[in-house]
Amino acid sequence: MKIDIVSVFPEYFEVLNLSLMGKAQDKGLLEITAHNLRDWTHDVHHSVDDTPVGGGAGMVMKPEVWAECLDELLGLGAPAQQESSAQAEAATMQPPATDAHGSAAAPVLIFPNPSAPLFTQRDATELSHAGHLLFGCGRYEGYDSRIPDYYRAQGIDVREYSIGDYVLNGGEVAVSVMLEAITRLMPGFMGNPDSIVEESYTGEGALLEHRQYTKPAVWRGLKVPDVLLSGDHGKVDRFRRDEALARTNDIRPDLIKALDCKALDKADRKT
């Protein structure tokens, strides 16, 4: 998967060279490039933002700079606009991204935005099959809304996502979060692919996970539930499923409401 990230703080993404994401890059599973948006400016101040039209506090990211950058990274010819020959050459020299099946894949353009729909495990799963993701990180009060509108109108798959109900200073951390959720679902990313099958938020059920224990069976006076020591796999499965349902009902009743009834079995209904 080819991943381009555009930001005024590309250094933020050095964390992606660590741990499993770093290993996936070494293996050639991921090819991540963090670009500096200011490289596409032409003025001496390298300015990327301006005051909001209509008034108000803060600054809004300008569409012209973003468009020069995104046109190049998406391999789109700039309409009636001059491109530097070096930039044009770089754009044509890029090999086409391929999807999970090795065929050329349409890029997905993603803008983190606290006022957008919530990014969920479902989105992560869908995007883990993409061949090319391009993230545009806004700063300040956000970016000119015509930027996503324009690329949608060009037929690009454009997404805007929030990662939760709180406000961050910019999209960089949100992109790191989304990327980790997406890439760990790629085939070959995890050492043990089973570990992603039974997690919270996956499967039709989308329940919080049951509680976890390891040895010793008694630690500082606290016991592991007896049933987990029984060796009866049927009982263990039932215990865990009941606990997952009860915990989800307590902590995230919204997930229970969203549950597809068909995902429940007869025994579930008694808990």
- Cβ-proximal residues to 252 (8 Å cutoff; 6+ apart), any chain: 208
Please pick, from the candidates 174, 179, 207, 244, the single residue that binds ligand 6GU as defined by CB under 6 A: 174
In the stretch 108-127, what mask flags binding to ligand 6GU with x, by CB under 6 A? ----xxx-------------
**Among residues 203, 206, 189, which one has the least CA distance to residue 244?**
206
Report the C-alpha gap between 172 and 169 in whole angstroms.
9
Q: By CB under 6 A, is residue 170 in contact with ligand 6GU?
A: yes
**Among residues 72, 51, 77, which one has the least CA distance to residue 142?**
51
- Closest residue by beta carbon to ligand 6GU: 112
Q: By CB under 6 A, is residue 206 in contact with ligand 6GU?
A: no
Report the C-alpha gap between 85 and 75 in whole angstroms.
14
CB 141 within 8 Å of CB 184: no
Q: Which of residues 34-93 bind ligand 6GU (CB under 6 A)?
A: none
197 is in an annotated binding site: no
The DSSP annotation for 183-231 comes to HTTSTTTSSSGGGGTSSTT-TTT--PPPP---S-SEETTEEPPGGGGS-
C-beta of 161 vs 189, nearer to ligand 6GU: 161
Q: Which two tokens stand for residue 251?
A: 């902590």
Please pick, from the candidates 18, 57, 93, 167, the single residue that binds ligand 6GU as defined by CB under 6 A: 167
* Minimum separation from the CB atom of position 2 to ligand 6GU (A): 21
* Minimum separation from the CB atom of position 160 to ligand 6GU (A): 8
Going by the annotation, the residues of the binding site for S-adenosyl-L-methionine are: 138, 163-168
Name the site residues for ligand 6GU (rule: CB under 6 A): 112-114, 161-164, 166-168, 170-171, 174
